[in-house]
Structure 1
Amino acid sequence: SVFSLSRLSGVICILVLILTVAASQRLFAYERGKCDTAISEVIEDLAKALFHRPMHVTQASLLQYDLYTPLNPQQRQLLHPGDVNMLKRSNFNAKWPVRITIHGWTGKSSACYNAALKDAYLSRGNFNVIIMDWSRQAIDISYVRVSKQLQSIATSLAKFLRFLHDNTGVPYESIYLVGHSAGTHIAGLTGKLLKPPERLGAIIALDPAGLTQLSLGPTERLAPTDALYVESIHTDLKFFGNPTGNQLSQAAFLVNWGRGQTHCPNATATELDFACDHFSAVYYFAESVRRPKLFGALRCSSLKSILSGTCSCKSGNHKTLTCPADAFMGGEPAIPKKGVYYLSTRPKPPFGTADGQVHMQPPIPSRILETSVKRRHI
């Protein structure tokens, strides 16, 4: 009957409202059950994207900005560019530094690596941590198609930064963009759109993507001049990363020579095995935010000396020597450095040694594919 259908419709509306409220109240942290870790979710999301591509919508409308502060460390507050009332009702505080994380290809805001970064910053004190979600573009099996959208995403992000600045007075210098993979190039393209004297305080590039970006010039990808300071951390030169570190940043850190990471696969148990090296930069950096002098690094004469595994201490055999650190990777706040650096890590968390020394180790090839095959046959 009409009455029954109306009643059923009312029940459905109530259920949808309950689910919507529950989703908005979800607690988000780098803890089991509070962030998305299932490998199957990535595959499922990619499968759905094949049949549900967003059509006839603006890039800006596909983006989402989740705000976390010490006042709401696990429950997001949404910010919408242009919505001043929403911004005023939020816990955003212009007196606190702003750290914006930008995920990469196939990523989304609810992923555990975003939670790890957010928790690291909030463990240090008062920060506005904003996780930019561009998953509706990023979850796409075609990286070429994804890459073509990075510039328009950066344009939207730059407008969002101006919205924050114009309505709160937050200085651009107190804003850092922390990007992973393709997200590093969104960060760089965004930085280019802020013309002097408008300059971002820093861009932290976590294993910048190679792939289609390898053939691009500095105006089309991350470059050393995109912020007052640009630092890159490289952990996967073999598959997804970018080996042109000193062309992307003012200081480039090649962890474990940028090759096989000693804990992979997979100490974090949050990514696909073959992407463990690629995501390692995120977890190393999160550790460095909590403990800024955790990762001592050795400055090398050139990128070539790192790629060839010949960078060494002042004397002796680089395979056995321990030498004093010339600088420290990552950290909060960012300390400007210049040059290319080598450092090694421990095979289990905490990955850094925290002793102010660089422990030289021979380069090892990535073991991810080999180990993944062995696992499937066990």
Structure 2
Amino acid sequence: MFPELYIIFMTWKFVSYTTALPYENEQGPEYGDEWIYFYDDEGNTHTMNFSTLPHETRGMVFGDAYFYLYTRRNCHAEQLEIPEDNQPFSSQYFNSSNDIKVVTHGWFSHEKTEWLQEIKNAFLRKADYNVITIDWSEIAKNPAYPWSAFSTRYVGKRTAKLLDSIARTHHVDGKVMHLMGHSLGSHVMGYTALFSNQRIHRITGLDPARPLFELPLMAPEYRLEKSDAEFVDIIHSCGGVYGYWRSHGHADFYPNNGRAKQPGCEGMQQVIEGCSHGRATLFFAESIDSKVPFVAYPCENWDKFENGECKENSVDMGYPVPTNSRGDYYLYTNGEPEFARGED
């Protein structure tokens, strides 16, 4: 079922970034260069080692990806099967009149995680969308982070094949497709767009994973970036540690400067970082059907924003963002729900 595994390991040494952490680094000089502690959705801590990387990455898969459809018509998930080549897509509940929302998780997470289900529920409260969730936890739970990271390509291919079968069967195209992913899931969506025959309308990256994508900086075809869709928006919340720091969308949002520690995240260093990494998902989920917007302002950098130099041409971060938005945007949030502060 899966391609053969070819793997040769080699050691990389990255340029240090730990001196740039906005808080005291308690873990030693190699933290952030070669490894980090990863605090997952369930409150468990894993060691993410990315100093030893595979030289050959073909076939880095151990498990599979599963797809579930939610609509207002079905109370429980309908598992979707990817049809064989040129065979029609089959679903009891899919409605070709409604837009398609696709969302997935990252490393050591799963489809039932609370934030993912809340995004699904918020969409269905808002309208009768076709919400497809992806569970690739069999692959994502591999303790060898490089294995999971490079397997995002396989998951993206599978997702693209599913979406292409839907488009072929129901005569829809990428204009009705919005893909969303957290952490490694952001890069799954980048690969989905790369391999799909459809020109995807929108991809939202929720604190896209940094290790092995921005550190070291990979070529655009190996990471989520703005050419992947008609509109790519990014929410940064643990930039420079778990998440991307550089701008790589059409519109990049930096709530609270886009870094740890995010307001409301307290505790040990790995807890602060994990909490901050997850904030992007909570901000986006709240934005879908909240009456209070996440008002953000275009600005050259955080210092100028803090100094009050950027108070014009605001846009709303999250789901309502206008797709003609361009550049870097900054805003403050609250430390607990409701996170949005509206017009400060």
Could you tell me the TM-score, scaled by structure 1's length? 0.70
- Structure 1 residues 140, 330: CA separation in 2 closer, same or farther (over 3 Å shift)? same
- Secondary structure of 1:137's match? helix
Counterpart residue number, 1:276 = 275
Q: Which moved more, 1:285-294 or 1:324-333?
A: 324-333
Query: Which residue does the alignment assign to 1:18?
Result: none
Which of 226, 232, 237 is the matching residue for 2:239? Answer: 237
Q: Which residue of 1 aligns with 2:163?
A: 161
1:168 deviation in Å?
A: 1.7
2:335 equivalent in structure 1: 347
Aligned residues: 288
Closer, same or farther in 2 for the Cα pair 1:353/1:158, shift >3 Å? same
What's the counterpart of residue 230 of structure 2?
228
Q: Return closer, same or farther for 1:322/1:190 CA change in 2, 3 Å cut-off.
A: closer
Alignment of structure 1 residues 39-188 onto 2, 5 Å: 39=43, 62-73=64-75, 75-82=76-83, 88-188=90-190
Higher relative strand content: 2
Question: CA offsets, 1:112-168, max 9 Å, x none?
Answer: 111111011111011011111111110011111112212122111111111111112
The corresponding residue for 1:310 is 304
Aligned AA for 2:210? G
Q: In 2 relative to 1, CA 58–64 (structure 1 residues): closer, same or farther, beyond 3 Å?
A: farther
C-alpha distance in 1, partners of 2:82/2:321? 26
Unaligned runs of 5+ residues in structure 1 are 1-35, 47-56, 360-378
**CA–CA distance in structure 2, aligned partners of residues 77 and 328 of structure 1:** 33
d(CA) in 2 for partners of 1:211 and 1:265?
23
Q: Taking structure 1 as reference, are residues 227 and 143 closer, same or farther at Cα in structure 2, changes over 3 Å only?
A: same
Percent of aligned pairs with the same residue?
Answer: 26
> What is the alpha-carbon distance in structure 1 between the residues aligned to residue 296 and residue 319 of structure 2?
13
Distance 1:124 1:63 in 2: 27
Offset at residue 239 of structure 1 (A): 2.1
Q: Tell me the equivalent position of 2:288.
A: 289
Contact 2:288 2:318 in 1 (8 A): yes
C-alpha contact (below 8 Å) 2:233/2:252 kept by paired residues: yes
Task: Please identify the structure whose Cα radius of gyration is greater.
Answer: 1
In structure 2, how many angstroms separate the alpha carbons of the residues matched to 1:79 and 1:58? 24
- Distance verdict in 2 for CA 1:61–1:172, change over 3 Å: farther
Where 2:120 maps in the other structure, the secondary structure is helix
Q: How does 1:262-273 map to 2 (within 5 A)?
A: 262-265=263-266
Tell me the amino acid that sits aligned with residue 218 of structure 2: L
Task: Name structure 2 gaps, 5 residues minimum.
Answer: 1-39, 49-58
Relative to structure 1, is the Cα distance of residues 310 and 333 closer, same or farther in structure 2, using a 3 angstrom cutoff?
A: closer
Tell me the C-alpha RMSD between the 2 structures. Answer: 2.9
For normalisation by structure 2, the TM-score amounts to 0.76
- Report the Cα distance in structure 1 between the residues aligned to 2:176 and 2:321, rounded to whole angstroms: 10
Q: For 2:41 and 2:242, how far apart are their aligned partners in 1? A: 20
